[in-house]
Amino acid sequence: MLDSLLNLDSNLFVLLNSLGSPKYDFFWMVITNKMTNISVYLMLSIFFLKKNNIRDFIRLIFLLGLLILITDQMTNFFKYFISRPRPCHDQNLIELIRLVKSSCGGQYGFFSGHASNSFALAIFFSNLLFIHSKKISFFLVSFASLVAYSRIYIGVHYPLDIVFGALFGSINGYIFFYLWKKYTFST
C-alpha cells in the first residue's frame, strides 16, 4: 500500500514537474524565493501596525518569530526522522525531472519547509486580518499554494511533501492564532 502511494506520488511529481517551461522559470523562482514570502508578510505586519498599537505589533513579531521557529524546526525534525530523499536526489528520477534551481537542497524532503511555513503564515494572517478584508484569506491561501507548488515545479519536492507541509503549517497557523486570541485582545 505504502509503496503504491509513493509510486503514485513519484509519477505525479514527474508529470507536474514536466509541465514546466523555461519561459516560466523566472516567475517560479521568484515565488519560491524566501524573500518574496518575507516581503508579503512584512507588508501585512506593517498594515497590522497601522491598525493597532506598538505593543500589539511587538507581540505579533514575537509570535510570528515563534511560529516560524517551531514550524521550521519541526519540519526539519520530520525530514530527518522520515528520511525520504528529495526527488532530485533519486537516481531513478534524475533523467526525468527539470531541476530549475542550481542546487537540489538538503538530502531529505518530507515534508516541505516552504509549504509548512507559507501555510502557517497564511492561515495565521488570514484569521488575524479577516475583519479588515474578507478577500485576504483567498489571497494568502492562493499565495501559499503558489509557493508550495513552486517546490514541485523547480524539482525539489514530491506532491506529498507539499500536502503534508501545507497541512502541518495550517495546523500551526490555527494554533498560533488561537494563542493570539487567548492572550491578546486586538485583531
86-139 pLDDT, tens digit each:
999 998 988 899 999 888 889 999 999 999 999 999 999 999 988 767 799 999
- pTM for the structure as a whole: 0.93
Give per-residue burial for 140-178: e unless 16+ CB within 10 Å, then b. Answer: bbebbbbbbbbbbbbbbbbbbbbebbbebbbebbebbbe
Q: Which of 32, 31, 109, 121 is nearest to 68 (CA)?
A: 121
Domain assignments of the chain as residue spans, ordered by start: 2-183
Name the grid cell of 111: 515534508
Give per-residue burial for 45-61: e unless 16+ CB within 10 Å, then b. Answer: eeebeeeeeeebbebbe
Evaluate if residue 187 carries a pLDDT over 70: no
Cα–Cα distance, 178 to 36 (Å, whole number): 26
- pLDDT per residue over 6-18, tens digit each? 999 999 999 999 9
Local confidence band at 185 (pLDDT 50, 70, 90 cut-offs): low
Cα–Cα distance, 25 to 22 (Å, whole number): 5
